Structure 1
Amino acid sequence: MTESPGPYEPYPAGGGDVSPPGKTAVPSTITTAFYCYLASTVIGIVSGLLVPGNQGEIADALRRANTAHLTESQIQDAARIAVISAVVIALLISLIYLWLAFKLRAGRNWARITLTVLTVLQVILLASGRGGSVVGYLALLLAVAGLVFAWLGASSQYIQTVKASRS
């Protein structure tokens, strides 16, 4: 029996980080940005799931601002609709953030730009006094950290390399 390597290249020795041919290794800066956005998104999901606990507070606010002379039943229905809407919107935004984080990790510059815009909008909302809770500030801190890592030199180089390999 002859030792024939066959039609395939031998597996490289060394056991290091071996990327398949044509595939660029993801730098640690992009990986860190990805996990920051992932953690920020998880916090957003958790805070969105806690909104139903605020239904009583929403109903109280509606009672205080009841200029349309709503009945108690209408106030409770409006509070329930507000809670359901808030949860659905929070989950949709979280899914979009997750999708964008995965696209960032895949080296898509448009995802990095979109995450930048969304993070800046989040900063503006919190700076204007809207949605300022401890959980909101923690999610924002993680998103800003992800933003910084997404724009570091190694991240930009990776995105440029991925773009060039797709051309």
Structure 2
Amino acid sequence: MTTPQDPDGRQQQPYIPPPPPLSESELQGSPAAGDRHVPVPKEVQASFWIWIAGAVLSVVGALLALTQREEIARALRDSPQSGQLSPAEFDAAVTFSLLFAVAIGVVFAGLYVLFAFKARAGRNWARVVLTVLTALGLLSLLFGPSLFGVVTSLLSVVAVVLLYMPNSKAYFDAVKRAG
């Protein structure tokens, strides 16, 4: 295929058709496909701040677990396996339980913050991960609910619901199209 020449002997550029007309949603102010900045809806913003609050509560709850040494020791003493432990092993098991609880709380807080930032940026996979973390948090309540655990789980449920509201879904879809 050759490019046509104009009367002066220079080659002309091939014909490029005009862009397609804007869709109805684009005419109404929704972000265009080429627009890299999609405004974050208030539902996603509220969800983000709830996740941050949940992370703070998770850390506070984890640190307060350190003050519950006697309660953990009592619960461990009441378990059938505690009779097989020496005093040193029993003390190590209590310490391990405390440190494990703190580590889990801090890890969940870090994950809440990380994925909250990603969800606010419009990453749908982060919304799914936060949903899974919420389910895991709810399941953890079966193993011994605490006040901070219940409050954090309830906040997580509210935050997840906000991420699936119609405006939020439209936001995640728009970011995906813009990317």
User: What range is the shorter-chain TM-score in?
Assistant: 0.7 to 0.9
Matching residue's letter, 1:136: G
Please name the residue that 1:159 is paired with.
172
Q: 2:65 aligns with which of 51, 54, 68?
A: 51
Alpha-carbon shift at residue 165 of structure 1 (Å): 1.1
Matching residue's letter, 2:74: D
Cα distance change of structure 1 residues 91 and 158 upon mapping to structure 2, 3 Å threshold: same
Matching residue's letter, 2:102: V
TM-score, length of structure 2 as denominator length: 0.73
Please name the residue that 2:38 is paired with.
24
1:78 aligns with 2:96: no
Return the alpha-carbon distance in structure 1 between the equivalents of residues 147 and 87 of structure 2: 32
Kindly provide the CA deviation profile for residues 54-78 of structure 1, in whole angstroms up to 9, marking residues without a partner as x. 112222333333231x232221122
TM-score, length of structure 1 as denominator length: 0.78
Q: Classify the secondary structure of the residue corresponding to 1:23.
A: coil
Kindly provide the CA deviation profile for residues 28-60 of structure 1, in whole angstroms up to 9, marking residues without a partner as x. 110011111111121111101111111122223
Return the alpha-carbon distance in structure 1 between the equivalents of residues 161 and 100 of structure 2: 32
1:115 aligns with 2:115: no
Q: 2:50 aligns with which of 24, 31, 36?
A: 36
User: What percent of counterpart residues are identical?
Assistant: 34
Q: Classify the secondary structure of the residue corresponding to 2:83.
A: coil
Q: Classify the secondary structure of the residue corresponding to 2:143.
A: coil
Larger radius of gyration: 2
Please name the residue that 1:99 is paired with.
114
Cα distance change of structure 1 residues 54 and 123 upon mapping to structure 2, 3 Å threshold: same
Please name the residue that 1:8 is paired with.
none
Matching residue's letter, 1:122: G
Matching residue's letter, 1:145: V
Alpha-carbon shift at residue 163 of structure 1 (Å): 0.8
- 1:123-134 matches, cutoff 5 A: 123-126=138-141, 129-134=142-147
Q: Number of residues paired by the alignment?
A: 143
Q: Classify the secondary structure of the residue corresponding to 1:38.
A: helix
